[in-house]
Amino acid sequence: MERVDFCGSFSSPPPSALNTLEAPLKIGVVKEIKTHEYRIALTPHGVEELVESGHEVCVESGAGLGSDLSDSAYAEAGAQVLEGPDAVWEACEMIMKVKEPQEVEWSRMRPGQILFTYFHLAADQKLTDAVVATGSHCFAYETLNVGRRLPLLEPMSEVAGRLAIQAGAKYLERPTGGTGVLLGGVTGVRPAHVVVLGGGIVGTNAARMAAGLRADVSILDINIERMQYLDEVLPANCTLLYNTRRTLREELAKADLLVGAVLVPGAAAPKLVRREDLGLMKKGSVIVDVAVDQGGCVETCRATTHEEPTFVVDDVIHYCVANMPGAVPRTSTFALTNATLPYAKQLAALGAAGALTESEPLRGAANAISGKLTNEAVATAFGVSWTPPLEALADAN
């Protein structure tokens, strides 16, 4: 089940690491081109901090408009605003993005260039093979870990968990094909039953939102320690259940809305809900699989977009948008920059080699270094070999 929070205090990189400037870098921020992706990897205040640290920052013209951030705001923060993506990719030694590089961007990546973004490689072998082949140094937000936490995944997990309930409520409405059930019910009428698979950041935020709307919520997990904590902090209309096949099937039969919130860091999500399980669910019930970035925890899941967010299998509505936080880009962009900026400063200060040598969190973020796959969970997903990051670095030298 999802394991991204556990209530530890946030740990930024040590100040000494931020001040060890190997050489000033040109850092580029490009416009996201995934369908209906409106976020940008860096806010103007993030640009300002990187410039004050001695780096140059180039921002593609129009990249921030989806988050209501103008070119002039970036220019005032000290960025060079360049026309077109090619100008940014060619000029910069480090690229910051939000989503994984799209196919048209693969040819723009080059050996030795640093790319810092969400990759979710375990869900896409074609993408994995392509980015490894570029020889770029690929550092993934979602596998950067501090102890038992994934601090760069957490803010988007919060957003996605809350959006999952908004989306589920919408698609439960009759005009969108749902059962016509109001999540919170009304006086004298039962509320909807919401089942949340996973008690991490996504699951906790989904449960809180659903509970706040007065739904009847069940959270299924297998981590007793985590369940004990959630039992203390969540409201009384949330029930914690230890997940077994029997329990899951019983809950599916009652569910109006199922939220998939399962995560194994860096790896493909386990398929906990099987195709045959859909036969237990009500006609017009809704599945929101937030784990779609890692392949989904529902067997019938396939990635969708904000343009065409849903599909129906066995009379059950599936909402499997792979970039859910892109629907609220203003909130998401600021939350993402708040989390990534300390590590972006460290990565830029140390360079790829220094980051791998000196920073354990950034070493964990390394998914591909100098043409070699360097994340064990991704390799396991595809049954291929991998090379530890420091070995890949040594081989390259």
Residue 20 has pLDDT above 70, yes or no: no
Structure tokens of 255?
């569910």
| Catalytic annotation present for 137 | no
Q: Is 311 helix (H, G, I), strand (E, B) or coil?
A: strand
Alpha carbons 311 and 361: distance in angstroms, whole number: 38
Annotation says 120 is catalytic: yes
Per-residue model confidence (pLDDT) at position 19: 46
| Res 23 pLDDT > 80 | no
Asked if pLDDT for residue 93 goes beyond 70, the answer is: yes
The mean pLDDT of 143-168, rounded to a whole number, is 95
Pick the catalytic residue: 55, 120, 137, 193?
A: 120
Average confidence (pLDDT) over 381-386: 94
CA dist 182 and 319 (Å) reads: 18
Tell me, yes or no, if the two domains 15-150+329-396 and 154-327 fold the same way.
yes
What's the confidence (pLDDT) of residue 13? 59
Check if the beta carbon of residue 288 is closer than 8 Å to that of residue 260: yes
pLDDT digits (tens, 9 = 90+) for 353-383: 999 999 999 999 999 999 999 999 999 999 9
Give the closest residue to 315 by CA, choosing from 208, 179, 144. Answer: 179
Q: What is the pLDDT of residues 258-274, one digit of tens each?
A: 999 998 877 889 999 99
Question: Which is the catalytic residue, given 124, 221, 289, 293?
Answer: 293
Does residue 200 register a pLDDT over 80?
A: yes
Of the ranges 12-21, 246-255, 290-299, which one carries the lowest mean pLDDT score?
Answer: 12-21
CATH topology of domain 154-327: Rossmann fold (3.40.50)
> Taking the domains of the chain in order of start, what are their residue ranges?
15-150+329-396, 154-327
Yes or no: say if 371 and 132 are a contact pair by the CB < 8 Å rule: yes
Instruction: Specify the CATH number for 15-150+329-396; select among 2.60.120.260, 2.60.40.10, 3.40.50.720, 3.40.50.620.
Output: 3.40.50.720
pLDDT above 90 (res 195): yes
pLDDT at 7 over 70: no
10 has pLDDT over 70: no
